[in-house]
Structure 1
Amino acid sequence: MSDFSAQAYNAWWQARLDAWSQVEEEADRRVRSVDPARAAAMTAAIEKDLDLLATIERYWAYPGKDGFLRIQELFRTGGPVEFARAVAQVKRMLSADYSYGATEVRTSTDAVSDPVGAEQNEAGSGRQRYFEVLVVERMTVEQERALREDLRRWRRPDDEFIYDIVVVGSGEEAVVAMWINPTIQACVIRRRFGHASANDLSRLAQFLDPSVRERLDRHSPHERAEILANELARIRPEIDLYLMTEVAVEEVAGSLSPNFRRVFHAREGLLELHLSILDGVAHRYRTPFFDALRSYAHRPTGSFHALPIGQGKSVVTSHWIKDMVDFYGLNIFLAETSATGGGLDSLLEPTGPLRDAQQLASEAFGSARSYFVTNGTSTANKIVGQANVAPNDIVLVDRNCHQSHHYGLMLAGAQVSYLDAYPLNEYAMYGAVPLSEIKGKLLDLRRAGKLDRVKMLMLTNCTFDGILYDVQRVMEECLAIKPDLIFLWDEAWFAFGRFHPVYRTRTAMYSAERLVDDLRSPELRARFEQQSAALGDDADDETLLNTRLLPDPDRARVRVYATQSTHKTLTSLRQGSMIHVFDQDFSGKVSEAFHEAYMAHTSTSPNYQILASLDIGRRQAALEGYELVQKQLEFAMRLRDAIDHHPLLSKYMRCLSTADLIPEVYRPSGIAQPLRSGLRNMINAWDHDEFVLDPSRITLFIAATGIDGATFKSQQLMDRFGIQINKTSRNTVLFMTNIGTSRSSVAYLIEALVAIARDLERKFDEMSPWEFDAYRRAVTRLTTASAPLPNFGGFHEAFRSYSDPQTPEGDMRKAFFGTYVDGSCEYVLQADVEKRVAAGEKLVSATFVTPYPPGFPVLVPGQVITEDVLEFMARLDTPEVHGYEAEVGYRVYRPSALPGAQAPAESTSVSAPAATNGDAGGASDADGAGAAPAAAPKPARSGRARAGAGAKAGNDGK
């Protein structure tokens, strides 16, 4: 067996199970071997494996230090048969579901030799859920045994949970245990612990930060406990931390870190600590709404209201639809109700279990408040947008964002200023929006005197392809320019990020909390004052653009929203989403508008099954999210390795790396494949790079197969193997591991890819020369960019601000509803559009045009159609384009129907008449016909480098 560090990227618990499986197999082979030389080889292999296991077994309660010593003793002095039986017993217990059953076998020090101990009877039904508690204190073996026995003495047969302890003697080992043992749910820090481990931790060095040891060594016992608590909370914030001390607990309690749940006096017994540990886990285990709904489903009711399907009454008595019960089961119907009373609560005005469930979600995801949404993150985005944006407010938004943002801004009447992400032309996809692009737009608006109208920045984190922002840095630098800017981070695909120590640093809620702390710190204030003195009051835009700006602690307000699709990356029924809020001005400025927006977009008949699934999905994330995300990441990296190191697969496909998807200019760490080069390198890259790549997204480059992405998805993966994916580009397919991914499903995917590659090999053997030429042409087509990805071309002057058109924001609502006027639009074929644009005519899109894949709008209502867009569309080989039909062409405004530009206060005056749009009718000479005034030239940005340089300038003056 190879070293653990080479076998596991992050999920060492999985590598540990693999190691025990290997020991079991080697022990069994040794028993059955009749060849002394082979038996000796097995013995040597077992000895090596046990030496490796000894490195990490001290961080688990089972088999525990005593149990593992017993295993080692059996290996040295016992017979091969006895040793093999003992190892098989340990392996069986480690493979069992630790949440249920046989818990005392796990916690018994005699479990290796006596798997059915007397204590198992004490456990009552044997259905208690099991977890482990980390204790940090220097102890002798006898003291550790005594502590374990003292805690066991307080167990009761009706306890819902059962636990055992893992004792470590140093802060270093506590950090290691927190990283590698996901079953730990609580930690007790006692004052007498060392800063450095007495054990060899060289194999676990990737988990150690040398600065932690140095800080622990230089401080008093109380300060050391605080430092360690902060470090453990950084790794696993969901874990309950307790402090036990022998000094005056009254004094300690007054200065106790918020990371500690409680402080106890060491000489006052362990009962209260034991009860607190159980209560802390029980708090996270609570599912108020799920429990209320389950209770309701068992009550007989009489409904004279609505919902005939409630309690299954319209189904179970039917002669024709009873198969619904057979398929779904009875409980789903028993839990259906339209009642908002009886303990079930109202989603629109929650006062009971729904309110409590949302509060628990807030705690789990680190927000100030959280809200459940039952019709997806599309609606969550519209709620946040409408709650914060009024007509004529300027909003900066990634043009490559989800369509719900575009529609939400249209409904809100915002003045939209689109941001361009850096292009990845080779793969026909966009990355993310560089910070220089965002700051540049803000500085332009400031120079134009419009900064007071800028309200919100909307960005997608992480993107579909796994690109993640440095969220805190983006907010810091933007707040340095616009101190009250609101941020909406669309984390539809990133709900799981909170539950991994490295991922967490790139999430919106964590970054908002850390930013608030930094703004209150004297260190940031001193740095800000130093920077302000250096820059002065007249720093030019170029200087500000190239400086890492710091916000003014006296002016900056942290106003952050995150929308997450729980159903996409955690556990929830379809459409289950959440809104997380960390807005310092929410109560004073937003709460009423948020309530109204929530009412406007939320059904008065929400699906209770979705709400219950959000509640129980939160419980899962709070108690085992860390373990599940570790598994997700581990399986993704093993999938990458299996593809890239396979001699046949690597001929036709490869996994794109960080270096492929993020240009070097955005990666100051210079690390091309962070996680593959070790956890510390991953942490370094995620701490310093502007963009990072989520390793659980595997973008497979398949150009060498000669098959385009859409065909590979439909004809190969889905039709042949039943493998579902949902994103492709012209030459890539995207695989995403999630918390439900299994090792078997990873193996099946590898088998399928190998089968596809073998078919290609056979096909090549039988190809005629002209067939091979056709294949080579297909590969050339797929390895050559179809056309440069177009940047946003700009809004027509009719949909721009009349008073000051030098900045590119536009009124998309006016453009959208303007098409409702009879005769305002026409359809023009691609060739005719190309001729008219080449002749200098400004044709204006009347609708969204979105190729799928990749799924970003190349045109929005009110946008001027440019040659860049037409060239891209002409060379596009994507079969599905929303908003465009080749038979009739583009839907555009008739020139005579374009309204005249209006002042900002009048920019939202266009209303939708009741008449049909009448696109096929004659041109209308009403509704503001006439030439719009020419746009004023936009001031040059003195040599500013723009992402995606080389694209032709559009009407926004880029």
Structure 2
Amino acid sequence: MKLHDQGGRGHTIRDYYSASQLRMDRWSTLRETMESLQRAGPAGRSADKLARRAAELLEALAPIELYFAFPGAAAFEHMRRLLEARNIDDLSHVVRRVARALTSGAYRRRSIQLVGETGDNEDFEDESTLPVDARALGRPYFEVLVVDDVNEHHERFLKASLQRMRRVEDPFIYEAVVAPSVEDALIAVLFNPNIQAVVVRPGLSLKSRNKLDILKRYLDRVGDDETVDAMEPWDYGPELCRLIARIRPELDAYLITDRSVEEIAGLDLGLCRRVFYNQEDFLELHLNILRGVNRRYKTPFFSALKEYSKQPTGVFHAMPISRGKSISRSHWIQDMGAFYGPNIFLAETSATSGGLDSLLEPRGPIKEAQLAAARAFGSKQTFFATNGTSTCNKIVVQALVRPGDIVLVDRDCHKSHHYGLVLAGAQVVYLESYPLHEYSMYGAAPLSEIKGKLLELRAAGKLDRVRMVLLTNCTFDGIVYNVQRVMQECLAIKKDLVFLWDEAWFAFARFDPTYRERTAMEVANRLRQTLRTPEHAAAWKAQQEALRDADDQAWLDARLLAPPDARVRVYATQSTHKTLTALRQGSMIHVNDQDFKGEVEEAFHEAYMTHTSTSPNYQIIASLDVGRRQVELEGFEFVQRQIESAMAIRRAVADHPLLSRYFRVLSPADMIPERHRESGVTRYYDKERGWTDIWECWASDEFVLDPTRITLLVGATGWDGDTFKTKVLMDRYGIQINKTSRNTVLFMTNIGTTRSSVAYLIEVLVEIAKELDEVQDDASKMERLAFEKRVSSLIEHVPPLPDFSRFHDAFRSPGATPEGDLRAAFFLAYDEEMCDYVELDEKLLERLEGGEELVSAAFIIPYPPGFPILVPGQVISPQILRFMMALDVSEIHGFRPDLGLRVFNEKALKSAEKTKSNGRS
């Protein structure tokens, strides 16, 4: 196989999930090859072979380097000429400088001389290891993509013209990279994360001449409905601006055109920031580029907080720690001041003392920071929270739900939703997620389940009381909904439904083109546009004709369309601190509700006041502001690395013969039933076939698996998930994870995950596998039998997960529909006289199997799985009891091992029935 089909070190292109990994490995391999060539000498036996390899690597890098400003076309041609002249020492020197500059990030901080005389200092510091002060003082670097099909001379002219506009006072520094075509531009913005602005000139062509398959794959991310083939030449520029806005909405685009103002005004230019008319005003372009990046760079509240910390202030309010006075004057807590440093205390103040802004009534920098966050995350309004997403969930539910409203909610959602529904007085309809019995976890609620419950309520004449659908996207284990389908089809049944999407683990998804398509805010914006189109109105009308007089089963089977007058009412809560850069408990509420201003705003602010502290932590608010800046400027790059890290773990476990003996990464086929995977994609990596493009299934399937969640099946080790987490990973190797099940552990990559962290994890798993092999080699027959029995109990004899049974009749409305009054049951349990305790044993199971009804008086939440298997007012089924008896976890919230299960007695149930009857009368 030729090297241009390889990535170096014997890896073929199909071994690489991304072109970024391929690029870095090729430069590393080229550096090693040149060092070997230097050692071999010009007349060495292997010199010719090594020189040919170096030539092939340069040829293989050529189509990749077109999309980057560093090292640049001139330097790349210089390297080729050095190799042709067999100037091995100089070439090795240049290659080493390029490889080190790319690895360390030095090219971002200073010019790296590659052509002509070169200095001897090649020890570039890794950017991430520099002191914080040194990095903060440097001017941030980015790249500008100029799209124009020009010759080499004109390309140099464009780059030099922009370079001449630089000024000492510029806050940033940038280099230009030129792409000739629409396709090359799309590849560049998806491949080169340094690009922050795109300048589209009139001379561009359509198709790329680059034939490297791994780069062509980037065009698949644009989507089938956004093909470039149908474009007309005069539309190349405007259409490119629109496509860039679709796939990288955070970028700034500038269009240079010779078309008339009238023509341009009627076109969709996406997020194009300015149109220049047929001019070469490079200074104006330069200033606009800097202004656009600075718009995203600004952090209103963080900057205000820094300025506040510099002011000499006399503190006469209720915070002794403000300005650090209570610490600096202390004889006993100086270590606290030394640990945290002075700035955190200089920036502490009371929200009521003035000088900054109030989170409860923001008018200044907090309001500006929230507006910037709304822009970044695609919402209409964004609200910061300093008490975590648990509080965000309660705020939204309280603001939208009135006592007696019916809410559909997935039963295995976070417990904060259950408590929020109690406080709001909702009538709760629990949605069943599909179970994954063999792994002791649930998936997500199928659309057929959601539609079925809505149609059931419609048939009972209760649809007018249905207020909200509340779903978790994505789940802890990484199951992601097809948000577009869910909202379209539910709105087809009830056109004013409110949707609350719990995206606690999904804040990062906004900053990847594939992930973004399944986020609440993106779909809400797209749905607003879709519903207004005449094509959609015609399609909806035709479907309504077809469904006239149809039964509920026909509605269940059809791919329903929302009516054109449906209201788009969408909320998303995100734990920013969980997946992006923010201090613990830093969260956001994103709103995209057409009726927010007229119907919800006042209630929302009351709910916000109810649950938000009057003394919010300003450091958390500042971190949310800075975290937003980061993802607008480098979120795309960081999320790409996060996905690459997860894919590297998948591949390592699958390919390693020893690891695959004891461990297996669960695939989409393992975690999503076939009926929910229309694409037929079963796994993201296969040892024989290589990688599957994830956007293939993300575009169509009802559920997809977030590849950054790596659920590792560990049952073959003989350890259950909790033991493997605490006794092995944490105690022995210092590896921290959150989620386990009976036979799995969950690893999550994030935007801070490094290749070194991935390498360490693989190293640890290999060491564990080797130890298990050695133990088995030395084991006696009885020890082997005991090990096999443990493995069998974890893999083959896993207790089935229980379904939600039902609410007891005392807590249900009349009729056959399943909604229950969670609030009435919850508060009835406050009275000790209404409750008894029953021991969890075989006798209790016999009583239930004999037909006796026992009703839970509490939330019972085992960790894992971490969601209620019983809620107040729910009938305890034999299936639930068996599951509880089989649990081998030590932490079960709401359960008293010394007393047993808390249940309602007969007196309580009669009281509930009486209260319900009085309420009806």
Q: Is the 8 A contact 1:427 1:785 kept in 2?
A: no
SS at match of 2:313: coil
Q: Is the 8 A contact 1:392 1:907 kept in 2?
A: no
Cα distance change on mapping 1:565 and 1:484 into 2, 3 Å: same
Alignment of 1:768-783 (within 5 A): 768-783=780-795
SS at match of 1:336: coil
Q: Is the 8 A contact 1:90 1:112 kept in 2?
A: no
Structure 2 letter corresponding to 1:521:
T
Q: Distance in 2 between matches of 1:3 and 1:905?
A: 75
State whether structure 2 residue 380 is matched by structure 1 residue 368: yes
Q: Distance in 2 between matches of 1:506 and 1:217?
A: 25
Alpha-carbon deviation of 1:821? 2.1
Match of 1:736 in 2: 748
Could you give the per-residue CA deviations for residues 157-213 of structure 1, whole angstroms, max 9, x where no partner exists? Answer: 011111111111111111111111000001011122111123434442212249889
Alignment of 1:66-77 (within 5 A): 66-77=74-85
Comparing 254-263 and 576-585, the one that deviates more: 254-263
Alignment of 1:319-718 (within 5 A): 319-340=331-352, 342-536=354-548, 538-554=549-565, 556-674=566-684, 681-718=693-730
Q: Is the 8 A contact 1:800 1:901 kept in 2?
A: no
Match of 1:869 in 2: 880
Comparing 839-848 and 338-347, the one that deviates more: 338-347
State whether structure 2 residue 259 is matched by structure 1 residue 247: yes
Structure 2 letter corresponding to 1:148:
K
Could you give the per-residue CA deviations for residues 523-580 of structure 1, whole angstroms, max 9, x where no partner exists? Answer: 21121111111111x21100000100001102x1000011000110000000000011
SS at match of 1:650: helix
Cα distance change on mapping 1:906 and 1:371 into 2, 3 Å: farther
SS at match of 2:66: helix
Alpha-carbon deviation of 1:906? 6.8
Q: Is the 8 A contact 1:706 1:778 kept in 2?
A: yes
Q: Distance in 1 between matches of 2:551 and 2:15?
A: 50
Match of 1:917 in 2: none
Alpha-carbon deviation of 1:369? 0.9
Alpha-carbon deviation of 1:785? 4.2
Q: Distance in 2 between matches of 1:547 and 1:205?
A: 36
Q: Distance in 2 between matches of 1:149 and 1:474?
A: 51
Cα distance change on mapping 1:444 and 1:612 into 2, 3 Å: same
> What TM-score do the two structures reach when normalised by structure 2?
0.94
Q: Distance in 2 between matches of 1:587 and 1:187?
A: 35
Q: Percent identity?
A: 55
Q: Is the 8 A contact 2:296 2:632 kept in 1?
A: yes
Cα distance change on mapping 1:730 and 1:608 into 2, 3 Å: same
SS at match of 1:36: coil
Q: Distance in 2 between matches of 1:583 and 1:27?
A: 59
Alpha-carbon deviation of 1:18? 2.1
RMSD: 2.3
State whether structure 2 residue 6 is matched by structure 1 residue 3: yes
Q: Distance in 2 between matches of 1:695 and 1:183?
A: 24
Alpha-carbon deviation of 1:838? 2.1
State whether structure 2 residue 91 is matched by structure 1 residue 83: yes
Alpha-carbon deviation of 1:99? 8.3
Alpha-carbon deviation of 1:282? 0.3
Cα distance change on mapping 1:739 and 1:395 into 2, 3 Å: same
Match of 1:101 in 2: 109
Q: Distance in 1 between matches of 2:87 and 2:919?
A: 88
Could you give the per-residue CA deviations for residues 5-58 of structure 1, whole angstroms, max 9, x where no partner exists? Answer: 736755433431221111111101110125823222322221221121111101
Comparing 352-361 and 815-824, the one that deviates more: 815-824
Q: Is the 8 A contact 1:196 1:213 kept in 2?
A: no
Alpha-carbon deviation of 1:94? 1.7
Structure 1 letter corresponding to 2:29:
Q
Counterpart of 1:192 (choices 195, 203, 206) is 203
Could you give the per-residue CA deviations for residues 775-829 of structure 1, whole angstroms, max 9, x where no partner exists? Answer: 111011001243221111110111111xx33101001110000012241001101
Q: Distance in 2 between matches of 1:608 and 1:615?
A: 11
Q: Is the 8 A contact 2:351 2:614 kept in 1?
A: no
Could you give the per-residue CA deviations for residues 886-941 of structure 1, whole angstroms, max 9, x where no partner exists? Answer: 331100001122134368897699xxxxxxxxxxxxxxxxxxxxxxxxxxxxxxxx
Match of 1:789 in 2: 801
Structure 1 letter corresponding to 2:40:
S
Q: Is the 8 A contact 1:172 1:213 kept in 2?
A: no
Structure 2 letter corresponding to 1:876:
L
Alpha-carbon deviation of 1:138? 1.1
Comparing 860-869 and 670-679, the one that deviates more: 670-679
Q: Distance in 1 between matches of 2:859 and 2:376?
A: 38
Comparing 571-580 and 818-827, the one that deviates more: 818-827
Structure 2 letter corresponding to 1:391:
P
Match of 1:825 in 2: 835
Counterpart of 1:60 (choices 53, 56, 68) is 68
Match of 2:150 in 1: 139
State whether structure 2 residue 16 is matched by structure 1 residue 25: no
Could you give the per-residue CA deviations for residues 271-292 of structure 1, whole angstroms, max 9, x where no partner exists? Answer: 2111111011000001110011
Q: Is the 8 A contact 1:215 1:227 kept in 2?
A: no
Q: Distance in 2 between matches of 1:137 and 1:353?
A: 40
Q: Distance in 2 between matches of 1:822 and 1:216?
A: 69
Gap runs ≥5 in structure 1:
118-124, 910-958
Structure 2 letter corresponding to 1:127:
G
Cα distance change on mapping 1:253 and 1:116 into 2, 3 Å: farther
Q: Distance in 2 between matches of 1:625 and 1:908?
A: 54
SS at match of 2:358: coil
Q: Is the 8 A contact 1:851 1:878 kept in 2?
A: yes
Q: Is the 8 A contact 1:413 1:908 kept in 2?
A: no
Cα distance change on mapping 1:649 and 1:567 into 2, 3 Å: same
SS at match of 2:881: helix
Structure 1 letter corresponding to 2:732:
R
Cα distance change on mapping 1:340 and 1:851 into 2, 3 Å: same
Could you give the per-residue CA deviations for residues 226-280 of structure 1, whole angstroms, max 9, x where no partner exists? Answer: 2222222222111111100123346424545242111011225122111111011
SS at match of 1:263: strand
SS at match of 1:208: helix
Q: Is the 8 A contact 1:370 1:581 kept in 2?
A: yes
Q: Is the 8 A contact 1:499 1:626 kept in 2?
A: yes
Q: Is the 8 A contact 1:675 1:681 kept in 2?
A: no
Q: Is the 8 A contact 2:407 2:470 kept in 1?
A: yes
Gap runs ≥5 in structure 2:
123-135
> What TM-score do the two structures reach when normalised by structure 1?
0.90
Match of 1:800 in 2: 812
Q: Distance in 1 between matches of 2:571 and 2:858?
A: 28
Comparing 368-377 and 262-271, the one that deviates more: 262-271
Q: Is the 8 A contact 2:838 2:900 kept in 1?
A: yes
Comparing 725-734 and 824-833, the one that deviates more: 824-833
SS at match of 1:698: strand
Q: Distance in 2 between matches of 1:905 and 1:110?
A: 88
State whether structure 2 residue 764 is matched by structure 1 residue 752: yes
Counterpart of 1:835 (choices 829, 846, 849) is 846
Structure 2 letter corresponding to 1:442:
L
Match of 2:126 in 1: none
SS at match of 1:305: coil
Alpha-carbon deviation of 1:479? 0.2
Q: Is the 8 A contact 2:101 2:107 kept in 1?
A: no
Cα distance change on mapping 1:650 and 1:213 into 2, 3 Å: closer
